[in-house]
Amino acid sequence: MISLSVIVCSIVQLASSASCPQSIPTVSVVPRCPSNEKEWISAAKRKNCSALENCQTCSKDRSFVYHCVLNKNATELVEVCAPIWYMSDQMCYRHIKFSTASQSEKGEHTTFVMTVIIAVLVILVILVISLLIFIRINWKKNNNSIKPRCEKIAENVYELDELIIESKDDSKEIEKISLDTTRKDVVEEVANFVTMSGKNILCSLKNVVTIRDLREKLSEKESVPLKCLLVVDKENGVLYQDATVFEPCKKERYTLMVGNTNRTQGFKEDGNVHTDVISNKQISHGKCQMCCGHFTVPETLFDWVKDKLPGSGDVELQCPRCSDVWEEEELVKKCNMSEDEKLFLNCVLEVNEKTKKMKQ
């Protein structure tokens, strides 16, 4: 095999050095060389190098014959028609050996790089899987931490039963809830809320994320317009904003305030047009006259009270035009406040009074 390579190398070098240009077009890459004499004869016959004997100028004795050899870089086997070449030393062999050695080094280097890439990929995959597992565990943990939303109720199942019995008189829907769902469902999904005036309202907490969600559920359940169902913090005398996240575990902080659905009821209509002292709009119907003589609309006045007093530290409101003080009683009357609203206004003014004293 070595001697073959030596000869072959010489031939290819001969061919590539263009000293035998007729050899070049005959070079063809093959997957293997003949392994015995029979195959060799057959391949030589197929290559038909003798046909070129007469038109080649490489060999004077016309020894232009079939060869199957390694190419210059010893990476492929080639068939070629070329003169016979006799080597007088081992230079070509050494060249092939060196070339093969450097190729094997290159191969080793490639294998090393591939191993590193695969190792990095495996580490990345492991990291991603770990991250996913971590997220899943955390998600489960969070889910579990949400569960206590009704555990206050679950802690005392008897209390829950009492609530259901108490509320049965108020709402037929309770029967629906207690009959259609198992106790477990009730514990997990339904919570009791208390209004300012002490009425219990059971409400499903399913999909309740914000205060707005809760208001919508309660409004639908109680058939009260959304604007008339507010959630308040009576301890601090403030209203919860719609975007605030509802925290089921701190449910006792939330008190419901059911408002008057028809504030203009009871006010006399004189048909005259006046300017609303708060909104500056022209009003003819559904207006109320304040103690200072200025006019406004009960709904506008209530929104103004709701906007100005809770959390402000103020204990009174003044007419925006004449600065006359509008007392609590006046506000209750002119806003046509419901029982819940009256009680909440009272809480707000008490808290504001305390805040004012603390500031002094």
Q: Are 276 and 300 in contact (CB under 8 A)?
A: yes
Tell me the C-alpha distance between 45 and 65, whole Å: 10
Determine if 121 is a binding residue for Zn ion (CB under 5 A). no
Which SS3 state, helix, strand or coil, does residue 81 take?
strand
Q: Tell me the window of 55-63, 217-225, 267-275, 294-302 that interacts with Zn ion (CB under 5 A).
A: 294-302
Between the alpha carbon of residue 3 and those of residues 69, 180, 192, the distances in Å are 11, 95, 98
Closest CB to Zn ion among 294 and 306?
294
Shortest distance, CB of residue 289 to Zn ion, whole angstroms? 10
Determine if 325 is a binding residue for Zn ion (CB under 5 A). no
Closest CB to Zn ion among 257 and 277?
277
User: Binding residues for Zn ion, how many (CB under 5 A)?
Assistant: 6
Determine if 126 is a binding residue for Zn ion (CB under 5 A). no
Determine if 332 is a binding residue for Zn ion (CB under 5 A). no
CB count in 10 Å sphere of residue 125:
10
Shortest distance, CB of residue 305 to Zn ion, whole angstroms? 15
Determine if 294 is a binding residue for Zn ion (CB under 5 A). yes
**How would you label 244-264 residue by residue, b for 16+ Cβ within 10 Å and e otherwise?**
eebebeebeebbbbbbbeebe
Q: Are 204 and 217 in contact (CB under 8 A)?
A: yes
Determine if 322 is a binding residue for Zn ion (CB under 5 A). yes
Q: What residue is closest to Zn ion based on CB?
A: 319
Shortest distance, CB of residue 301 to Zn ion, whole angstroms? 12
Which SS3 state, helix, strand or coil, does residue 226 take?
helix
Closest CB to Zn ion among 154 and 292?
292
Q: Are 285 and 263 in contact (CB under 8 A)?
A: no
Determine if 319 is a binding residue for Zn ion (CB under 5 A). yes
Shortest distance, CB of residue 160 to Zn ion, whole angstroms? 51
Determine if 292 is a binding residue for Zn ion (CB under 5 A). yes
Chain residues in the site for Zn ion (CB under 5 A): 292, 294, 319, 321-322, 324
